[in-house]
């Protein structure tokens, strides 16, 4: 079976220890987590994990089954890239003098739709939000000028299809 | 001591009653109907032990000799009684000693609740004396776990713990409770848990899949059922029996499902798996419809998945959605509790009789009988076999005993040859294969069914892993019968060395102590048999004993268990010798 990128979305109760349980499922199957983001979701009191893996659909399906089995997990879904709208953010820290001396850097910032977050005496910081390859491209473009620090977030994603969590919760409540 | 309820009644007031967290733990246990727990005290759990002392008349605490023993005893108790087993330990080493039992209960879906003490909240994370992150350590081996750091959380969390442990696919739950939470006071009100928002213990059965299953079963020429522990946990024994009788389907079991249907039922064709019966294994690859009920296609059952039942349409009845298509692809998956789904299925099933197909099993049985079983049960060679010992136990106990086995050759032999009339009679460590399981589990099993004969069958290796629990048997006069089948080897490993490592017996020869003297040291009646002529009487005397009894049987040192599917081979390639 062919490997590809999968985004796993997990809706759960907000609970200490659940991250440990969920990451353990990947650990047991020797599947590397390529991106992980945990935040609150559209539903009050419900957390959402967005986990990115590069593997086969079969493994993804089995993992999602194991995740859903956890007591505090409300529902888990998985999607391929085409089925989601997703983004990552990155910060680039660069020497300040380059901002003024290198016209090319100004062009990069303009063309890539990124923003300058701060300018200090010694450095300035650019933030870029986009797909992984866009951030990679920007990284490659800036690399020759020297990047003092670089950091990238986990993926955040919403699915194109509905994830009917509210209805599900309603159903649980009525049971 | 009076319970909170009684106090309230007496004082006829509805105002809340303040009690300590430690006392609250006891009330929670009583509210859940617990009257027996196993454990071992220590600093971080002392407030709860102090309350146990006061509540001795309502709640019996059995002092295990090692926390692992406490967990296995709780498991044995749960497995025969169908109730939740409870074990308790202190923080640090006490807690870590529970891990093997938790892992065993997790893989065998046994409902137990373990309570551990923990250092006070303000010391958490400081590497305090006997602090260990037991919640982190036990996460992969528990169905659920939780650390209580405030007394007020106790009733809700305890109720949730019991609910999660026993509902759906059962499993172990660990509750870690900090010392401050044991000392602090709370207003005690208890409400049993009836649901957890994010947790769906019983998937809703879907009629369409049941209809599809019925159609496959009705149209099948060579249908075959393999059932597992899901039948016992779901209390679906009667439904399974009706199904196999109505449709005339031969049915085999995994060791976790053993005893759900009486051994002598004409459609009970035996055991599947690595050391299972010949017919049930080989014919898996000849049936046209394989109906798996409450079993999870463990690799010890399937052998190589590439060659497992490829010709068959697979119907999988299962409570846990994560098991569907995990190992074997199901053509039809029926989710739900087996009792419920089988009851929905039964009216759709046509009466049938697959006599010619069933005869295939009989033919294969005859081959296995002639080459293996006859020599195991009625041997003509001099040395005693494990099989004949089991057969004598069957006879002396009239097939009514609960048989608790450890792990190794004796386990496979006992599962193969023990005969049962009643469900919940075969207690073994199926999934984890934990040596040291049987002795403490037998203690729990006996306490969970005092009216039943409980016989533990153990190897000389596994016996010494938890031999200290003889102390519990002696102190509480628990009338279990212990049979050690002594081959002076770690028999099962030695068998593999013989077959697959050119007989290089690396560290599998055991020089054993005088087991009879050890039992006598614990004041347990005991006997040793090394000759066939004495076996029958010795077993009879043991079964007749009202007290605990230890019997050592010196068996052949280098016997092998057959049939055998070498690991990774196909079920069709099962070896008879
Ligand atoms: C705790 C633990 N350690 C190691 C093993 C590996 N193991 C499986 S069977 C076996 C030998 C068991 O020997 P014994 O208890 O004498 O029983 P026999 O096979 O001789 O009946 C061993 C070492 C295990 N299952 N459990």
d(CA B100, CA B91): 16
Q: Is B158 a catalytic residue?
A: no
Q: Say which residues have a Cβ less than 8 Å from residue B143's Cβ, sequence separation at least 6.
A: A71, B106, B164, B165, B169, B170, B171, B172, B173
Whole-number percent of chain B with pLDDT over 70: 98
CATH topology of domain A86-152: Alpha-Beta Plaits (3.30.70)
The least confident of B9-13, B40-44, B216-220, B510-514 is B9-13
**Is the Cα dihedral B24, B27, B29, B31 positive or negative?**
negative
For residues A55 and A6, the answer to whether their CB atoms sit within 8 Å is: yes
Is A74 in Cβ contact with B198 (below 8 Å)? Answer: yes
Q: Is the pLDDT of residue A74 over 70?
A: yes
Task: For residue B13, name the pLDDT band (cuts at 50, 70, 90).
Answer: low
Whole-number percent of chain A with pLDDT over 70: 98
Residue spans per domain, chain A: 4-84, 86-152
Query: How close is the Cα of B143 to the center of ligand 1, in Å?
Result: 26
Residues 132-191 of chain B whose Cβ lies under 8 A from any Cβ of chain A:
135-136, 139-140, 143-147, 164
SS3 state of residue B486: strand
pLDDT at position A162 is 86
Q: Is the pLDDT of residue B287 over 80?
A: yes
Closest CA in chain B for residue A165: B198
How many other C-beta atoms lie within 10 A of the C-beta of residue A142? Answer: 22
Determine contact: B322 vs chain A, CB below 8 A: yes
Is A71 in Cβ contact with B320 (below 8 Å)? Answer: no
* Dihedral in degrees, nearest 10, Cα atoms B478, B480, B485, B491: -70
Highest mean pLDDT among A12-21, B13-22, B300-309: B300-309
pLDDT at position A15 is 82
Is A69 in Cβ contact with B321 (below 8 Å)? Answer: yes
Task: For residue A104, name the pLDDT band (cuts at 50, 70, 90).
Answer: confident
pLDDT at position A166 is 77
How confident is the model over B380-408, as a mean pLDDT?
Answer: 97
Indicate the DSSP class of residue B399. Answer: T
Closest CA in chain B for residue A170: B197
How confident is the model over A78-83, as a mean pLDDT?
Answer: 94
pTM assigned to the model: 0.94
**Residues of B with Cβ-Cβ distance to A47 under 8 angstroms:** none
Is B196 in Cβ contact with A71 (below 8 Å)? Answer: yes
How confident is the model over B76-90, as a mean pLDDT?
Answer: 98
CA distance A157 to chain B (A): 22
**Conformational region of residue A130, where left means phi above 0, alpha means psi within -120 to 50, and beta covers everything else:** left
pLDDT at position A24 is 93
How confident is the model over B39-68, as a mean pLDDT?
Answer: 97
What number does the ligand 1 atom closest to the CA of B491 have?
20
Is A66 in Cβ contact with B322 (below 8 Å)? Answer: yes
How confident is the model over B133-151, as a mean pLDDT?
Answer: 97
**DSSP conformation letters of B98-123:** THHHHHHHHHTT--EEEEEEE--GGG
State if residue B72 touches ligand 1 by the CB under 6 angstroms criterion.
no
How many other C-beta atoms lie within 10 A of the C-beta of residue B567? Answer: 12
> Which residue is listed with tokens 């892992």?
B103
CA distance B219 to chain A (A): 30
How many other C-beta atoms lie within 10 A of the C-beta of residue B462? Answer: 25
The least confident of A117-131, A158-172, B19-33 is A158-172
How confident is the model over B465-479, as a mean pLDDT?
Answer: 98
H/E run at residue B261: none
State if residue B429 touches ligand 1 by the CB under 6 angstroms criterion.
no
How confident is the model over B505-524, as a mean pLDDT?
Answer: 97
d(CA B114, CA B128): 22
How confident is the model over B37-42, as a mean pLDDT?
Answer: 98
Query: Which CATH number does A4-84 carry?
Result: 3.30.70.260
d(CA B35, CA B53): 14
pLDDT at position B458 is 98
For residues B394 and B544, the answer to whether their CB atoms sit within 8 Å is: no
Q: Encoding tokens for residue B214?
A: 């019925």
Q: Is the pLDDT of residue B83 over 90?
A: yes
Question: C-alpha angle with apex B438: B434 to B441, nearest 5 degrees?
Answer: 105
Q: Is the pLDDT of residue A102 over 80?
A: no
How confident is the model over B88-101, as a mean pLDDT?
Answer: 98
State if residue B495 touches ligand 1 by the CB under 6 angstroms criterion.
no
Q: Is the pLDDT of residue A103 over 90?
A: no
Q: Is the pLDDT of residue A16 over 90?
A: no
Query: How close is the Cα of B408 to the center of ligand 1, in Å?
Result: 5
d(CA A148, CA A141): 14
Nearest to residue B421, comparing CAs of B401, B395, B396, B441? B401
Q: Is the pLDDT of residue B5 over 80?
A: no
**DSSP conformation letters of B263-331:** TT-TTEEEE-STTS-HHHHHGGGT-SEEEEES----HHHHB-GGGSSTTSEEEEEES-GGGTTTSS--S
Query: How close is the Cα of B491 to the center of ligand 1, in Å?
Result: 7
Is A172 in Cβ contact with B195 (below 8 Å)? Answer: yes
> Which residue is listed with tokens 């650990």?
A27
Determine contact: B321 vs chain A, CB below 8 A: yes
ipTM above 0.85, yes or no: yes
How confident is the model over B286-315, as a mean pLDDT?
Answer: 97
Whether A4-84 shares its CATH topology with A86-152 is answered: yes
How confident is the model over B350-362, as a mean pLDDT?
Answer: 97
CA distance A58 to chain B (A): 9
Size of interface A-B (CB pairs under 8 A): 49
pLDDT at position A173 is 65
How confident is the model over B36-43, as a mean pLDDT?
Answer: 98
**Residues of B with Cβ-Cβ distance to A13 under 8 angstroms:** 197-198
Using CA atoms, how far residue B131 sits from B115, B117, B120, B364, in Å, is 15, 10, 9, 57
More confident residue, B115 or A45: B115
Omega of the bond leading into B563 within 30 degrees of 0 (cis): yes
Domains in chain B (CATH in brackets) are 17-188 (3.40.50.970), 207-360 (3.40.50.1220), 382-554 (3.40.50.970)
d(CA B393, CA B387): 10
């Amino acid at each position: 079976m062919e490997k590809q990128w999968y985004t796993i979305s997990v809706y759960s109760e907000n609970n200490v220890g659940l991250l440990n349980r969920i990451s353990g499922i990947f650990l047991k199957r020797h599947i590397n987590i390529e991106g992980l983001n945990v935040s609150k979701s559209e539903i009050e009191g419900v957390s959402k994990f967005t986990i990115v893996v590069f593997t086969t659909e079969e493994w993804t399906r089995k993992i999602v089954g194991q995740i859903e089995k956890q007591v505090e997990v409300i529902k888990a879904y998985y999607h391929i890239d085409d089925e989601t709208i997703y983004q990552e953010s990155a910060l680039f820290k660069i020497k300040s003098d380059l901002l003024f001396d290198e016209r090319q850097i100004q062009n990069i910032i303009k063309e890539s739709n990124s923003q300058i977050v701060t300018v200090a005496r010694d450095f300035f910081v650019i933030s870029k939000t986009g797909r992984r390859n866009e951030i990679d491209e920007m990284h490659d473009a800036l690399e020759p000028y020297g990047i003092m620090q670089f950091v990238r977030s986990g993926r955040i994603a919403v699915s194109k299809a509905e994830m009917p969590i509210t209805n599900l919760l309603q159903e649980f409540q009525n049971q | 001591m009076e319970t909170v309820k009684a106090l309230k009644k007496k004082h006829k007031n509805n105002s809340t009653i303040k009690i300590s967290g430690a006392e609250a733990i006891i009330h929670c246990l009583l509210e859940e109907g617990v009257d027996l727990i196993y454990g071992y005290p220590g600093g971080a759990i002392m407030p709860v032990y102090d309350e146990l002392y006061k509540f001795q008349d309502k709640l019996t605490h059995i002092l295990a000799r090692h926390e692992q023993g406490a967990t296995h005893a709780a498991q044995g108790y749960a497995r025969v009684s169908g109730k939740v087993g409870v074990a308790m330990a202190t923080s640090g080493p006490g807690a870590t000693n529970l891990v093997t039992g938790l892992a065993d209960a997790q893989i065998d879906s046994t409902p137990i609740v373990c309570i551990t003490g923990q250092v006070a909240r303000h010391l958490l994370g400081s590497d305090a004396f006997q602090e260990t992150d037991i919640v982190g350590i036990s996460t992969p081996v528990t169905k659920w776990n939780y650390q209580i750091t405030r007394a007020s959380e106790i009733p809700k969390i305890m109720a949730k713990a019991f609910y999660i442990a026993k509902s759906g696919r059962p499993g172990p739950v660990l509750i870690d409770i900090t010392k401050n939470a044991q000392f602090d006071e709370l207003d005690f009100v208890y409400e049993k848990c009836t649901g957890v928002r994010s947790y769906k213990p019983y998937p809703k059965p879907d009629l369409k899949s049941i209809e599809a299953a019925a159609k496959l079963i009705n149209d099948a020429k060579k249908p075959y059922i393999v059932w597992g522990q899901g039948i016992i946990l779901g209390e679906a024994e009667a439904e399974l029996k009706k199904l196999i009788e109505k449709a005339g389907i031969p049915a085999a079991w995994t060791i976790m499902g053993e005893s759900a249907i009486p051994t002598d039922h004409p459609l009970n064709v035996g055991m599947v798996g690595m050391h299972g019966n010949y017919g049930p294994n080989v014919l898996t690859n000849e049936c046209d419809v394989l109906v798996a009920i409450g079993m999870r296609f463990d690799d010890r059952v399937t052998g190589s998945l590439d060659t497992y039942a490829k010709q068959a349409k697979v119907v999988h009845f299962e409570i846990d959605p994560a098991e569907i298509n995990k190992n074997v692809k199901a053509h039809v998956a029926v989710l739900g509790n087996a009792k419920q789904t089988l009851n929905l299925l039964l009216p759709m099933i046509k009466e049938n009789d697959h006599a010619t197909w069933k005869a295939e099993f009989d033919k294969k049985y005859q081959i296995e009988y002639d080459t293996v079983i006859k020599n195991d049960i009625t041997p003509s060679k001099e040395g005693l076999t494990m099989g004949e010992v089991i057969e004598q136990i069957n006879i002396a106990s009239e097939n009514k005993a609960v048989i608790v086995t450890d792990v190794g050759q004796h386990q496979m032999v006992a599962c193969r040859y023990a005969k049962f009339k009643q469900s919940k009679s075969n207690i073994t460590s199926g999934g984890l294969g934990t040596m040291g399981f049987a002795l403490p589990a037998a203690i729990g099993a006996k306490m969970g069914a005092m009216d039943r004969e409980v016989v533990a069958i153990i190897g000389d290796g596994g016996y010494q892993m938890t031999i200290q629990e003889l102390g519990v048997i002696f102190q509480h006069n628990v009338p279990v019968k212990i049979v050690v089948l002594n081959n002076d080897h770690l028999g099962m490993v030695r068998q593999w060395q013989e077959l697959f490592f050119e007989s290089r017996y690396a560290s599998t020869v055991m020089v054993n102590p005088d087991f009879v003297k050890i039992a006598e040291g614990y004041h347990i009646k005991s006997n040793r048999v090394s000759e066939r002529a004495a076996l029958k009487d010795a077993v009879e005397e043991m079964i007749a004993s009202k007290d605990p009894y230890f019997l050592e049987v010196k068996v052949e040192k280098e016997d092998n268990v057959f049939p055998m599917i070498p690991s990774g081979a196909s079920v069709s390639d099962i070896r008879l010798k």
